[in-house]
Every structure is written in C-alpha cells, then in structure tokens.
C-alpha cells in the first residue's frame, strides 16, 4: 500500500447545519443527545472521506462532552476537520455550536473526536494521506493526537476484555 500525498486540515473541513424542531427534543425542550451524536458521526464521516477519498467506517468515538443544551427553535451547526492520521486511520475533531435564531447568541454545546478506518470496496484497510496542520489550533490538536490515540488503544483493550468476559449472553441471564 502506498500513501497518497499529504493534505491540509482545511481540505477536509465540513459543516452541517440544522434547525432544531420539536421531534428533535426531549421533554425539557433540549435536543436529544443521541441526535447530536448522530450528527457528529455524520459530519465527521464526511470530513474523513474528504481527506481519505475512499470509504471510511467509524472505529471509535471519544467522549462526547455536552457542555450546554441545544434548545428547540435554535439552529445547530457542526464543524469538523481531520486533525491527524495514522497509516489507515483518520482522527476528526467536531465542534457543535447552537445559535439562538432570534438573538444571534452562539454557544459551543459539544466537542468530540471521532476516529475512522479507511477501507476499499472489499473492506480492506487503505492507507490515508498524512495531515499538514497550518493554524495554531490545528497544530495544537495535531500535537495532542498521539496521546489521544494511545488512550483509545488502551480503552479498546479494556472493551475487548469486557466483551470476552461477558460474552454474547444477555446480562439478565448472568444475574
């Protein structure tokens, strides 16, 4: 496998915006966390695919930190870009911003890192281009990526151990 030429972070930049309506919200009038997480995965996949120019699958979602609620009637805007790559994996940073459409007030509501693996039509892993960070923020995120990747691998090993210990049987069968 050969690696494609490196790309800048801005080449993968992706934006998604939506109006938050009653079906998107819980009984407190704030957007369902699961809906926000779905939007995060969607926009992150677009950014990762733009960078890799091949299909990608979600490998990991770091914690989604909900900082403020997104309210009914507000808009929600997600911005994503590739921050780092390894051989076949792509790390994407996503920022979620809510805007009160009447006042114009904007608030960062959530942040997350999502990791994807690049694959071909047969499901075989594909090499991805390296990342060229240009801005201060891009360089900051790029420099912290190896540590985030190390933590992800540790967490994955813990998850594998739990899966092995509990197996496929229902937790109710174990009680």
Number of H helices, E strands in the chain: 3, 8
pLDDT value of position 137: 97
The domains found in the chain, sorted by start residue, are 7-174 (3.10.129.10)
> pLDDT confidence of 171, banded at 50, 70, 90?
low
User: For residue 31, what are the CA distances in angstroms to 37, 62, 66?
Assistant: 11, 20, 11
Long-range contact set of residues 164-172: C-beta below 8 Å, sequence gap at least 24 = none
- pTM assigned to the model: 0.92
pLDDT tens readout for residues 79-136: 999 999 999 999 999 999 999 999 999 999 999 999 999 999 999 999 999 999 999 9
Structure-token pair, residue 27: 């009984």
Which of 15, 24, 16 lies closest to 71, judged by CA? 24
Interatomic CA distance for residues 73 and 103, integer angstroms: 12
> pLDDT confidence of 174, banded at 50, 70, 90?
low
Give alpha helix (H) positions in 1-54.
33-52
Rg of the chain, C-alpha, whole Å: 18
> pLDDT confidence of 165, banded at 50, 70, 90?
confident
What would the mean pLDDT of 38-43 be, rounded to a whole number? 98
Which of 147, 25, 118, 130 lies closest to 74, judged by CA? 25
């Amino acid at each position: 496998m050969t690696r494609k030429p490196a790309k800048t972070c801005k080449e993968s930049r992706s934006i998604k915006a939506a109006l938050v309506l009653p079906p998107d919200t819980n009984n407190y009038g704030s957007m369902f966390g699961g809906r926000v997480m779905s939007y995060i995965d969607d926009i992150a996949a677009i950014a990762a695919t733009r960078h890799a120019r091949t299909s990608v699958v979600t490998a990991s979602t770091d914690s989604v930190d909900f900082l403020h609620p997104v309210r009914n009637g507000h808009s929600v805007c997600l911005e994503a870009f590739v921050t780092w790559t390894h051989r076949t994996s792509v790390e994407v940073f996503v920022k979620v911003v809510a805007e009160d459409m009447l006042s114009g007030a904007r608030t960062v509501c959530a942040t997350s890192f999502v990791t994807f693996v690049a694959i071909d039509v047969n499901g075989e892993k594909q090499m991805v281009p390296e990342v060229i960070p240009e801005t201060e923020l891009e360089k900051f995120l790029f420099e912290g990526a190896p540590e985030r990747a190390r933590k992800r691998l540790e967490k994955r090993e813990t998850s594998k151990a739990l899966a092995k210990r509990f197996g496929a049987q229902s937790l109710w069968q174990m009680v």
